[in-house]
Structure 1
């Protein structure tokens, strides 16, 4: 094997590969001779907006004008991922001639529809004669023919292709992933005809009947995403996951209706999703989880998470999706049809890393991913969900004696159950107090989504006092009722009451501003009692945290490493050591036995714990390596053998604190957050919620409104910054359904005050689009009320639809931002806060951080080429040059990337250029400004 072939194999085995999809977003364009009612309008507008085709003077497109070969190749080059050279006709012809694309000898001759079919096949590496090439177009749904017969003659292969035809074909090609030219190894002669079977009647004037292979498609959608109208693609983030009861994978399905039309972003379809192997399925569209759930799509995107069961043997699982409760004609083909995806669960030994961060200057938002564990709670023996009468309470054992009907009393554990009053969460101590003063009261018993018991008091059963509220409010009555349990003397308030006081405060914060004001006016002493008690427990908690701080560290990053046996059980009696390295500091740490206390959430089950005297904000990396362990106890040597001397890496993310405001003025701000189902993919930990609460505190506006939206917009809270930021807003359980941006904005616009002296702004975070008509309406409303809207697009540029968000910001005088990683939201929010409070915005300021420049950096290996692609953040207009740098034992090897427009830089090089280099494990993408200064970098690791 020669060196060239060796390097191809090395790169194919080692590099992270990513696929770029031609953008389907559209900017505003004026086309004067194609009406919006024209069937080709969408494709024509897309082709013009994305620079694939140009208009003639006066904005005319001229759909019936014929296309020359030179024009066609230029259009192809604009769409081709692998073309990264100049757009001179000679360069384009040289490139595609070397790929043996079947071309005419006259570049100014018109191109027939049949020749286009052969060219498209050749670009995809298939040498086909004209009939087979036309069938290839049918199979890939690039064409439907002229009358629907789907025969060779119905395609009209001898007719010259028009600009309208080519716009439609390119639009369909782009939606399937675009073009990444492979070409042919020799002159086109039809050598691959045997790969395409021509249907019966294909060469006659009859109608072709295509076979329906839906029953056999399983998880092959991603390889052939256009096999039918409904399912366009099934994407599985990781088709093989560890069978430990923790690891999960995301399954995303792209859907269309039965006619092949896009499904509106505002629409949501219900699917029954089932795991054949009994894995846990969850969805952002539904708070429930189990081996069979109902999930809702976000427009044409359906997403679910599958968590592997705990297993000691490898098994395969089939996840099925079936549309339910929908009788609309446009979804008729879904009836009786199930779509399937296949997963594999593999038991493995694991070295699991979690972390916790403490910083007294940023105590609430610093970060961490420590799981307190599943709290063991016994279900009531032989009791069905329904009412239970509490006969007696034992606070020492945290049990109560209860009965149903004429049954005898049973002892029931409530220590780690979910305890509520009128569906408002309370603490075990409050539960005890309520039960102790209400002899033979009842609770409603049910199970939550985790299978834990829920005991819920009804207010009419336990609240006897008449509070004589001037405005009747059941929740206000609950607040006053619970406050009575707080000791009168502050000296009697201990840290034991922390959860109880905080629970009452949370219920109070859930009230509207009007209800809170009503309580403050009519029950001033009670509210003061609550506020004083909260100040006491906060102080006690702070002192406890200080006392528990190891080695008097002012701040620290705590790393916890656990050993997990195949099957998911945490090993609690391992006596060996693990080497942990963080921020340049390395040490060997012993595993301890089980110290977990599930009641107080302290200790760790069989873990090695290391404290590092530093906090690094942003993303950092920690590594752990299990060290060889010589002992007479050989019980774990076999099961852990694959872990020894293997370095495990984990990313640590510390949430930054906002810098102090440099300006102050009276402002009102609406915080509008997308909580549609698709946001779960871009923000799995609901980081937007944490960061937005932090931003509300930072801006400290005079009036704030928190609005979430999915299929419709909902006002969650309004009022002062303290009231809104401390409320339970933007909850993860609400992330579900479609995307109706306009509804969210409209609600925020309606919740500003009538003040003419305050500056009014909206901050919108989303990953989707909405209908143009609705967007235009809210834009006009914002402009009429002098409201600026700052928009933040979340997600990879290829997946996120920018046009609506950019239009909203541009037309209202706000700013548009894009982030590919949700962790970069901090930098955007700091810039927006500066813009709102200082009435000033410097776009270059956002791009001064090296990790803000790149949205993505990708390397893709083809048969003969290596393609390097960098996507620059849309806000960064200070980038003049981008380089891809390969590191090797012989030094650095650099390639200049060419600006392809749409913030895409790309270069394609022959694999043979790498044959003399022994590459290291990563590739660096470097961005420079016009003065040659390095302003950004991103590393793609070679694994």
Structure 2
């Protein structure tokens, strides 16, 4: 018996020795159990230092990973880098890591956006990031296929097609470390990155198998950081894009301003001009100093014409079949032969390039979208032609996305001759890419934010167009025209279906004519005008109101002696004399180059000659060195020249402009938009003629900055920021209207001109039938000093 037991125990011992050693399957995290599918990957990530979890000992494997968390893990995953990169004083704590990955052109959205950093990462976008980490610039679908083919991820059911990847679902923390674990085993941990911004240029290397994407599935690639242009860590460039996404119709446009710093991190002086070359990779039209129109009506917004048709379109060689579209799943249903031809021309053509002079540190360009039937991401590149002393400024890039959309295009023009005093609105139905829809059976419904008196609010479409009109306003108005297409019969055309019942809008602004009180008998001064011609004016005054309204000022005042001057880095003389020749000379005002207010003042002062009262009006949108300006102000005091200063926009040295006006017995005016120049000129005219200025708050809406009323779940959120140009503000209300009356809510003043209030939707449910709400501001005496109507955002 003893011998048998000894045999049994020896056998058990041998079997145990031959069996694999099983250790505890528990990980170092309390919420990752021993049978969790990603347990091994999570423990590996902890062991190699990619993650340490949360302070309470958990990992939260099913929690969506934020972009900032993914960035941290990727930097630690990379064997070429330390565990983290330092940040500058006052920066977001992850910015060093972001800059490092941006240097490798990973398609991250949070480089300049706090909300993107703290938002969950979609699985499709994460696939693009992981592919870019290993040097593959792919669209989302190709990036998912790349993960499958390299055994980095699997679908949810094992079908392993695009939908099986759940592309629109958020990536979890467990899924992120699982993919990194597979990357470390199958490819490696050293980052390769991309050589330039992610645009999907490698997608042809990973042709998707048949049925990878369902035939009726259309996915439009999200543009890579469209509103957050790439900023390399070594670059000292700030980039401001007015609209990062444009409709690809040959008309839509946006402004981009690049702001450079020298090698010491200081802004380039505004008195300095540098020459840059600007290019568009996709052949978009670039305007850096648009042609100056002979006649500009201040009531008429500029109308951009479509790109001219190329003269020499390449024709396919006979006998060769047309190549299939690389990405049929991202293609619109409509196939427009003319647009495909134009697109092929643009692709084959050289990049569009222009040369531009900087306004000191700033370079502003206008980009006009090309006509294209497929979505494209363009790169606008700006390169310094010459050096700044021993400092070589970096090349800077900004991404613009062109999206073909079916739309209603609105063309707004003022009538001439017998139709003078009438504004015409022409609506055109357009397919994605800009081709006109000529066979629509229906009518146009037209409306406006502030009740314009349309001749007809319902107009039939004929050959894709419908036209109505209204009497041109004679008061200063900022309005919005809203157009909707209504069908008279059933519609099968998908382009038309996407337009129906949708609201399309276009802003319109009207400046009142300048007038003068002929009963006043003040002596008219010798009057001079000093107008900013720097490059930033292309964006701040694209309609050139500073020219048209100055002409109107001269014509209305009818002074005997008028002086016209303008300035960039130097002061330039245009004309002196009676109104007509001086008005004609103002066509020489431009928008290119730097800003030297001092040199402009010096030139203007040199042209004053008589002993009668002297007045100068200085209009600028920029900054300039203070010391030389103050020297010129002393001369103005000695010469008895009164200076009115007008600051346009936000990038101003307000204190300096106020000093110039105060020290010369003049007055300073600030206007947010160029259309408001009419108010200031009217006030100055009245003071010159009668000695009593008029109030400049006639445009009551101008005191409101970004007012909004939004419906968020069950709440109504009202907020606005107020400017105090019209004096102290006592209270702000939001008024909702219905057929039974009004209800007013007073907003709470939170801080520094910010007014806010939240209410429950059910409290004013009956008043929400009207889609508009009105902000009203009052001073301490109860006088209304501002009013602006807004649409309630759903």
Inter-partner Cα distance in structure 1 for 2:245 and 2:500? 22
Name the SS for the 1:139 alignment partner: coil
Name the SS for the 1:352 alignment partner: strand
Name the SS for the 2:666 alignment partner: coil
Please name the residue that 2:499 is paired with: 643
Q: Give the direction of change, closer, same or farther, for the CA distance of 1:623–1:294 in structure 2 (3 Å limit).
A: same
Q: Give the direction of change, closer, same or farther, for the CA distance of 1:801–1:698 in structure 2 (3 Å limit).
A: same
Inter-partner Cα distance in structure 1 for 2:587 and 2:426? 30
Name the SS for the 1:580 alignment partner: strand
Please name the residue that 2:458 is paired with: 588
Question: What are the Cα deviations for residues 53-80 of structure 1, in whole angstroms up to 9, with x where unaligned?
Answer: xxxxxxxxxxxxxxxxxxxxxxxxxxxx
Which among 399, 404, 411 is matched to residue 354 of structure 1? Answer: 411
Name the SS for the 1:640 alignment partner: helix
Aligned residues: 534
Please name the residue that 1:711 is paired with: 569
The correspondence of residues 176-575 of structure 1 with structure 2, limited to 5 A, is: 228=233, 230-284=235-289, 291-326=352-387, 328-329=389-390, 331-332=391-392, 334=393, 337-358=394-415, 545-546=417-418, 549=419, 555-571=421-437
The offset of 1:668, in angstroms, is 1.2
Question: What are the Cα deviations for residues 199-220 of structure 1, in whole angstroms up to 9, with x where unaligned?
Answer: xxxxxxxxxxxx9999667886
Please name the residue that 1:627 is paired with: 486
Residues 701 and 721 of structure 1 are in contact (CA less than 8 Å); yes or no, is this contact kept in structure 2? yes
Which among 643, 656, 681 is matched to residue 539 of structure 2? Answer: 681
Residues 441 and 487 of structure 2 are in contact (CA less than 8 Å); yes or no, is this contact kept in structure 1? no
Q: Give the direction of change, closer, same or farther, for the CA distance of 1:814–1:614 in structure 2 (3 Å limit).
A: closer
Q: Give the direction of change, closer, same or farther, for the CA distance of 1:215–1:708 in structure 2 (3 Å limit).
A: farther
Q: Give the direction of change, closer, same or farther, for the CA distance of 1:848–1:345 in structure 2 (3 Å limit).
A: closer
Residues 229 and 258 of structure 1 are in contact (CA less than 8 Å); yes or no, is this contact kept in structure 2? no
Please name the residue that 1:655 is paired with: 511
Q: Give the direction of change, closer, same or farther, for the CA distance of 1:629–1:579 in structure 2 (3 Å limit).
A: same
Residue 760, structure 1, aligned to residue 614, structure 2: yes
The offset of 1:352, in angstroms, is 1.6
Residues 229 and 259 of structure 1 are in contact (CA less than 8 Å); yes or no, is this contact kept in structure 2? no
Residues 243 and 254 of structure 2 are in contact (CA less than 8 Å); yes or no, is this contact kept in structure 1? yes
Name the SS for the 1:265 alignment partner: coil
Q: Give the direction of change, closer, same or farther, for the CA distance of 1:346–1:220 in structure 2 (3 Å limit).
A: closer
Inter-partner Cα distance in structure 2 for 1:912 and 1:851? 24
The offset of 1:939, in angstroms, is 3.8
Please name the residue that 2:754 is paired with: 906
Residues 281 and 292 of structure 1 are in contact (CA less than 8 Å); yes or no, is this contact kept in structure 2? yes
Question: What are the Cα deviations for residues 208-242 of structure 1, in whole angstroms up to 9, with x where unaligned?
Answer: xxx99996678869769986464342222222111
Question: What are the Cα deviations for residues 476-527 of structure 1, in whole angstroms up to 9, with x where unaligned?
Answer: xxxxxxxxxxxxxxxxxxxxxxxxxxxxxxxxxxxxxxxxxxxxxxxxxxxx
The offset of 1:285, in angstroms, is 8.4
The offset of 1:256, in angstroms, is 0.9
Please name the residue that 1:807 is paired with: 659
Residue 786, structure 1, aligned to residue 640, structure 2: yes
Q: Give the direction of change, closer, same or farther, for the CA distance of 1:242–1:275 in structure 2 (3 Å limit).
A: same
Name the SS for the 2:692 alignment partner: coil
The offset of 1:785, in angstroms, is 0.7
Residues 672 and 762 of structure 1 are in contact (CA less than 8 Å); yes or no, is this contact kept in structure 2? yes
Residues 474 and 513 of structure 2 are in contact (CA less than 8 Å); yes or no, is this contact kept in structure 1? no
The offset of 1:590, in angstroms, is 3.0
Inter-partner Cα distance in structure 1 for 2:486 and 2:229? 46
Q: Give the direction of change, closer, same or farther, for the CA distance of 1:855–1:880 in structure 2 (3 Å limit).
A: same
The offset of 1:278, in angstroms, is 1.3
Higher relative contact order (CA 8 A, sep 6+): 1
Please name the residue that 2:529 is paired with: 671
Instruction: For structure 1, list consecutive stretches of 5 or more residues without a partner in the other structure.
Output: 1-123, 129-134, 144-149, 151-175, 184-210, 364-544, 594-605
The offset of 1:743, in angstroms, is 1.6
Inter-partner Cα distance in structure 1 for 2:515 and 2:372? 48
The offset of 1:828, in angstroms, is 0.7
Q: Give the direction of change, closer, same or farther, for the CA distance of 1:321–1:893 in structure 2 (3 Å limit).
A: same
- TM-score of the pair, normalised by structure 2: 0.59
Please name the residue that 1:475 is paired with: none
Inter-partner Cα distance in structure 1 for 2:691 and 2:587? 28
The offset of 1:883, in angstroms, is 1.7
Residue 895, structure 1, aligned to residue 747, structure 2: yes
Q: Give the direction of change, closer, same or farther, for the CA distance of 1:237–1:354 in structure 2 (3 Å limit).
A: same
Q: Give the direction of change, closer, same or farther, for the CA distance of 1:591–1:236 in structure 2 (3 Å limit).
A: same
Inter-partner Cα distance in structure 2 for 1:240 and 1:226? 19
Residues 675 and 730 of structure 1 are in contact (CA less than 8 Å); yes or no, is this contact kept in structure 2? no
Q: Give the direction of change, closer, same or farther, for the CA distance of 1:580–1:924 in structure 2 (3 Å limit).
A: closer
Which among 761, 771, 791 is matched to residue 625 of structure 2? Answer: 771
Name the SS for the 1:627 alignment partner: strand
The correspondence of residues 156-175 of structure 1 with structure 2, limited to 5 A, is: none
Which among 722, 730, 736 is matched to residue 871 of structure 1? Answer: 722
The offset of 1:942, in angstroms, is 4.4
Inter-partner Cα distance in structure 2 for 1:771 and 1:865? 47
Please name the residue that 2:146 is paired with: none
The offset of 1:607, in angstroms, is 3.1
Question: What are the Cα deviations for residues 151-205 of structure 1, in whole angstroms up to 9, with x where unaligned?
Answer: xxxxxxxxxxxxxxxxxxxxxxxxx99999x99xxxxxxxxxxxxxxxxxxxxxx
Residues 869 and 907 of structure 1 are in contact (CA less than 8 Å); yes or no, is this contact kept in structure 2? yes
Name the SS for the 1:781 alignment partner: helix
The offset of 1:715, in angstroms, is 1.2
Question: What are the Cα deviations for residues 834-879 of structure 1, in whole angstroms up to 9, with x where unaligned?
Answer: 122233335xx223553354466478999999794423243x22x3
Name the SS for the 2:498 alignment partner: coil
Question: What are the Cα deviations for residues 599-630 of structure 1, in whole angstroms up to 9, with x where unaligned?
Answer: xxxxxxx6322233564533333332222143
Name the SS for the 1:642 alignment partner: helix
The offset of 1:832, in angstroms, is 0.9
Q: Give the direction of change, closer, same or farther, for the CA distance of 1:178–1:837 in structure 2 (3 Å limit).
A: farther
Please name the residue that 1:63 is paired with: none
Q: Give the direction of change, closer, same or farther, for the CA distance of 1:231–1:752 in structure 2 (3 Å limit).
A: same
Inter-partner Cα distance in structure 1 for 2:653 and 2:360? 13
Residues 447 and 483 of structure 2 are in contact (CA less than 8 Å); yes or no, is this contact kept in structure 1? yes
Inter-partner Cα distance in structure 2 for 1:653 and 1:782? 36
Residues 444 and 460 of structure 2 are in contact (CA less than 8 Å); yes or no, is this contact kept in structure 1? yes
Please name the residue that 1:743 is paired with: 599
Name the SS for the 1:793 alignment partner: strand
Which among 423, 442, 445 is matched to residue 579 of structure 1? Answer: 445
Inter-partner Cα distance in structure 2 for 1:341 and 1:561? 32
Please name the residue that 1:696 is paired with: 554
Inter-partner Cα distance in structure 1 for 2:583 and 2:555? 6
Name the SS for the 1:846 alignment partner: coil
The offset of 1:701, in angstroms, is 1.5
CA RMSD of aligned residues (A): 4.4
Q: Give the direction of change, closer, same or farther, for the CA distance of 1:609–1:871 in structure 2 (3 Å limit).
A: same
Residues 709 and 740 of structure 1 are in contact (CA less than 8 Å); yes or no, is this contact kept in structure 2? yes
